[in-house]
Structure 1
Amino acid sequence: MRLFLTFCAFFALVAVVFAWEKEDHEIFDLVSSIQASEGKDVNFYSWLEVSPSATTAEIAKAPFVQAYRKKSMQLHPDKNPHDKKIHERFARLGVVSTILRNKESRERYDFFYRNGVPVWRGTGYYYSRFRPGLGTAIVFLIIVTSGFQYAAQHVNSRRDLARIEDIVRQARQVAWGPRMVPVEGQRKVKVNLGGGPESEAPERWISMVVDANNVYFLHPDGDMELLDASTATQPAISSTWFIALVRSSYQSAFGRSNDLKEAEGVSPPQADDDELSGTASEAPGSGTVTPREGQTTSTSTGKRKKATKRR
């Protein structure tokens, strides 16, 4: 029954969205524009000073034509050179006159004249008039997808919380007995997470420790972890995909930059004194070199002489 009602609501929404046609949208625009420029209580008939009960044939006769000419002379751009919106008002007058003279378009307008213009005019109407750019569309998609992800986090959090409460209840029942009377001291118990004879899934037993009202999960290495409502994963905006992507990109970019700065700040290794003894003993450019022991040098006569260490 619930599924049937959901489908009915969906098709009703689709019918509302696609109910209005292009001609209806044009009338919506005209009604809004005339009310904005001429007054909230002004409609097509009052603006042209025509009775709503007049027939289409009567509107096409001389009285209406004279009233239209009079109004068009009042709104002519040549007589209102300082009015910046006079061209729009003058063009709007011609469109309204055409609608009232045509039987089909007038019947369409009369429907909204009697019943009022709808507040919600369909997604197509608003999209065509407020067509978003690429940036706006991307921001909208980010907000919508992040919102759905955040809602999914809430659902998963409630599911985790219910599962934790069930595990805690089972552990206490095993430790305290069917009557659930608390027992002092720690009691090590095993809880089945699912499966068994009535299920196709294999049994999954975990070790738990019940200490008074606290229930702990016992790790294989002997460490105990408190199991309560805080263990469930809490929903967070920072965990949505876009925020996580921005945070990860920021850490990758600036973290690498900091590593490079730290690497540049490390000074090169210094040479030992023994190594420096075999290099130039004077300032650069002096030309004087102190030889090491056993190193041969050239004399001015061209003979080679072996350097000896002085005592």
Structure 2
Amino acid sequence: MEAGNHTEVSEFLLLGLSEDPELQPLLFGVFLSMYLVTVLGNLFIILAISSDSQLHTPMYFFLSNLSFIDICFISTTIPKMLLNIQTQRKDISYIGCLTQVYFFTIFLGLDNFLLTMMAYDRFVAICHPLHYTVIMNPHLCGLLVLMSWLIISWVSLFHILLMMRLTFCIGTEIPHFFCELSQVLKSACSDTLINNIFLCVATALLGVFPLTGILFSYSQIVSSLMRMVSIEGKYKAFSTCGSHLSVVSLFYGTGLWVYLSPAVTHSSQRSSIASVMYAMATPMLNPFIYSLRNKDVKGALGRILSRTASSL
């Protein structure tokens, strides 16, 4: 392969999930269906929360933001994948690849932060119920979301600036269905030590700390529930955490499986397939988890559907 610097590289090749031509129509149908279900499901959650005054609380404010982020998260990767399958092409431009890395990193990090905020919200609601409205005021909730956007945007931008100094070979192949940061770094022809150090530090700070915050919040919640005398009170308090715990388990479980599984580490194809779990399955299942396990959201969705049906 002829080597060249990043200004000479105009495109990369995304190898996708499979090169078997017979599987392409099936993959297109499956991923298009998952994409549409994800977008529509999360839009329904946003619509239900915004149209029902009873859901204008910090918990549902964070949930609506999570649904918006999930729509953006999946829209960063899947449309390009569907386009490549439909046109039977594998290319993605150099700028397009950097853009995909930038926004994918942002929305992945925001998912992480929002799940942490939701855990903190449940901690305050259960452990400090008398001070809940004072602590979780609209100003604090808005500030937390804004700070999350600013922090992760700057971290993502720094990743891109470090990537722009790398040298890539002409015809670089990325064994993935999108430009995932670690896979792009592995495909570079120059030294990526600084990039990998920053990736490890950023992952530790923006991944471990939020997860620690979630675990601390739930340890305090469990401790508070243990002190409750009423079994009915315990069940009612913990039931408000059920949906969030399910989403946290799905998000971190699939993410850790992708990056820590020895089997995945030694197979790029398995890594790509496993990435579908946290890049697509988690955003798709979130609306179902919150709508099926949450009476308030189900009630709001029911009222929207009834009003829609009566107007037809």
Which protein has the bigger strand share? 1
Q: TM-score range by the shorter chain?
A: under 0.3
Larger Rg: 1
Q: Which structure has greater helix proportion?
A: 2
User: TM-score, normalization: structure 1?
Assistant: 0.23
